Structure 1
């Protein structure tokens, strides 16, 4: 897809510019506001709620970050928005609320989480919510089936494949051959690859062979930063300010 320079123009804050030592929790309004102030792009995670809403949250379960337990997908959006986060006054956001907060001021990179079970509801909801969003925005997933579903419902929305070689996410969804076939069918516009696997055959084939912009995750210090600068177009970082 032409015209993706905006995707790699600025370092991407992983789950926002978060720092729990000062009360800024990942994937919250405070973390996103901090990234906006620093003019970093934002990466965030999306999960599907029981009522089909796209929620900004990384884990499948609520246990690590909230005062509740159990799977996020068992609760509706309205119920999830009432759940208290540990060490924060923020609440779990919907994708729509995130879009309203960012309002095109920095680039948004949405990672659609998946259980590799063929569920395409999250891709459909993402496409619905971001339709008409005026700012720079892209979506990606480890699951090529989800990326393909996004292609079907929102072909004009830049889409990416998140990947690493080991453990291969394709193993969770079936054979390696099926994973590769689905990845090609999804026709990603960019790649997001583990920094620990750079340089590597597949990410560099995508970058140099197919001309796909290459993001790399998760850059957490100087060795990672140097590797990212050598082999990728931009980094997804946390724990420091590049």
Structure 2
């Protein structure tokens, strides 16, 4: 009975993995195409086999399977990682998932993502990704931290701290820019996220523009004063020249 129950669970997991592709990739056309051509799915299924051996302490076989999968797919998943059902690795070249990483159900991961550690510490050293999280291209989530349900991590972000549920994180280091204001859906609109660095640059640019206007106005007033009084400042140098030199 346990054997048949395991087969039923495996079938449900594989079906959820295939359905995840159709739900989140508009380019998917048929189940046969998905099964034969999607490297993210190949890496995921290879990992499920490697993880089965890993749990039974057949570590060498598990690592060989994971390395073969890495060679053919460009996606490196340690056989010790725990991955739920319905996970979608899209254009997964360069994805790295560490040994103690835990990934929940219906997570979306794009190319270049690293779920890694921060050093040579022992024990739980990789992140825990809860259900329905989206991790955009090139993002790095490092250390034994937790990313809450329905969170979004923007492209190129480096996340080193806990991420609350229903939040959006961008930047280096990652900053929470949206939390509980609007529910974050696990969609594909991960390119239209706020950029705190760009906002700071715009603020500095506006401040510089205001300072330039103030300096120009000050120079104008000094010039008018000199023309009226014919005076000089700072050891007989014209005031306007003095400001320019400063």
TM-score bracket, shorter-length normalisation: under 0.3
- Greater relative contact order (Cα 8 A, min sep 6): structure 1 or 2? 1
Q: Which structure has the bigger radius of gyration?
A: 2
Q: TM-score, normalised by structure 1?
A: 0.27
Q: Output the TM-score relative to the length of structure 2.
A: 0.27
